[in-house]
């Protein structure tokens, strides 16, 4: 409860877990988070990756409320993750112009900013970003049985569930 991170000039993954490689995060609940980061930020994890074909890395069965603010790869649950399953976020995910590196915001989603697989997830609240903004995921490859309820704002490649879907 009350996770606060204020690091808008540090280019490192931010969240309860910053960077997770070949790990599984399950059954985490975070209430009233307030995260202000540069990129790769989410309440539960900033970045969750698989380093080789023999391992798994994902976020599952998590819920968070609050506000995530930054520039790129922002999500209510995870900034960037290989998989996000059965998770929900209620609150605001706000992508803003990166004044430090002078780039527009991209990859902003209610659950994940960027993910290979998003399944059985939801987001409620407000999502805003310049490019690749989505109610559930900003940039996704496979999205199943997920929904968004709220307000979505963006300029390029914006979608109610997925901003950009690449196969």
* CA dist., res. 111 & res. 95, Å (int): 13
* The pLDDT value given to residue 88: 98
* The pLDDT value given to residue 108: 96
| Tens-place pLDDT, residues 105-127 | 889 999 999 999 999 999 999 99
| Tens-place pLDDT, residues 17-65 | 999 999 999 999 999 999 999 989 999 999 999 887 777 899 999 999 9
* The pLDDT value given to residue 74: 97
* The pLDDT value given to residue 76: 98
* Residue 148, pLDDT above cutoff 80: yes
* CA dist., res. 143 & res. 75, Å (int): 15
Assigned token pair, 60: 């599952």
- Residues forming beta bridges with residue 67, ordered by sequence position: 34, 92
Q: Where are the beta strands (DSSP E) in 22-87?
A: 24-26, 29-37, 39-41, 45-49, 58-60, 63-70, 72-75, 78-85
* The pLDDT value given to residue 2: 87
pLDDT: which is higher, 1 or 126: 126
* The pLDDT value given to residue 101: 65
* The pLDDT value given to residue 133: 96
- Indicate the pTM of the whole model: 0.95
* CA dist., res. 94 & res. 127, Å (int): 6
* The pLDDT value given to residue 51: 81
* The pLDDT value given to residue 166: 79
* CA dist., res. 19 & res. 158, Å (int): 27
* CA dist., res. 66 & res. 56, Å (int): 28
| Tens-place pLDDT, residues 71-104 | 999 999 999 999 999 999 999 999 998 776 667 7
């Amino acid at each position: 409860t009350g996770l606060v991170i204020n690091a808008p000039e540090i280019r490192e993954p931010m969240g309860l877990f910053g960077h997770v490689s070949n790990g599984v995060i399950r059954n985490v609940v975070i209430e009233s988070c307030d995260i202000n980061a540069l990129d790769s930020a989410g309440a539960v994890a900033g970045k969750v990756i698989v380093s080789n074909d023999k391992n798994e890395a994902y976020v599952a069965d998590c819920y968070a409320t609050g506000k995530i603010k930054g520039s790129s790869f922002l999500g209510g649950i995870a900034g960037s993750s290989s998989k996000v399953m059965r998770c929900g976020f209620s609150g605001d995910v706000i992508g803003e112009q990166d004044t430090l590196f002078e780039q527009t915001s991209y990859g902003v989603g209610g659950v994940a900013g960027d993910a290979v697989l998003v399944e059985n997830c939801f987001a409620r609240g407000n999502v805003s970003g310049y490019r690749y903004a989505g109610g559930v995921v900003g940039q996704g490859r496979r999205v199943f049985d997920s929904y968004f309820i709220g307000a979505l704002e963006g300029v390029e490649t914006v979608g109610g569930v997925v901003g950009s879907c690449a196969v």
